[in-house]
């Protein structure tokens, strides 16, 4: 199994009838006027691809958001089943995790780290840069 896609967006969803991903406003940077800064909502989009020799269902998925200082802002985990593939087509699993009101204590680089089946070989991450908006002095 491997991570095929890992994106942070304003909003995302998976259509239940087709499994299609809908992604709006993909981003890698947040700008804030003051810190600590609270970001109202963001979605983490994950697309996993199955392969020959993968362990059987169920699988585990763990996600953490970590600052550059190593501090963990959040951590979640759960189980999922990789759907059965069709002949000649690699099976895929799509997941969207919505996060609300995440507080960033200071500007810096933050990483969403994703692990599948607690296996160090199946790990990926995506980075968000949180910057402070520089205000211009009044004349």
Fold of 2-132: Immunoglobulin-like (2.60.40)
What is the domain partition of the chain in residue ranges? 2-132
Kindly report the pTM of this predicted structure. 0.87
Rounded percentage of the chain residues whose pLDDT exceeds 70: 94
Question: What strand order describes the sheet that includes 21-26?
Answer: 21-26, 2-14, 37-49, 92-104
Q: What was the pLDDT predicted at 86? A: 77
Q: Which residues contact 101 (CB under 8 A, 6 or more apart)?
A: 38, 39, 40, 41
pLDDT at 124 over 60: yes
Convert the pLDDT of each residue in 46-77 to its tens digit. 999 988 778 888 999 999 999 999 999 999 99
Rounded percentage of the chain residues whose pLDDT exceeds 90: 71
Q: What was the pLDDT predicted at 105? A: 94
Q: Apex CA 6: angle with CA 87 and CA 55, to 5°?
A: 45
């Amino acid at each position: 199994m491997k991570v095929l896609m890992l994106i942070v967006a304003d909003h995302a969803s998976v259509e239940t009838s087709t499994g299609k991903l809908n992604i709006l406003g993909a981003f890698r940077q947040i700008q804030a006027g003051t810190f600590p800064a609270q970001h109202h909502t963001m979605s983490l989009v994950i697309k996993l691809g199955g392969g020959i020799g993968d362990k059987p269902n169920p699988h585990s998925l763990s996600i953490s958001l970590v600052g550059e200082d190593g501090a963990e802002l959040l951590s979640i985990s759960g189980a999922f089943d990789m759907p059965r593939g069709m002949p000649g087509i690699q099976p895929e699993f799509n997941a969207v995790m919505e996060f609300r009101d995440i507080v960033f204590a200071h500007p810096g680089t933050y990483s969403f780290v994703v692990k599948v089946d607690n296996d160090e070989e199946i790990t990926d991450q995506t980075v968000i840069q949180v910057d402070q908006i520089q205000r211009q002095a009044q004349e």
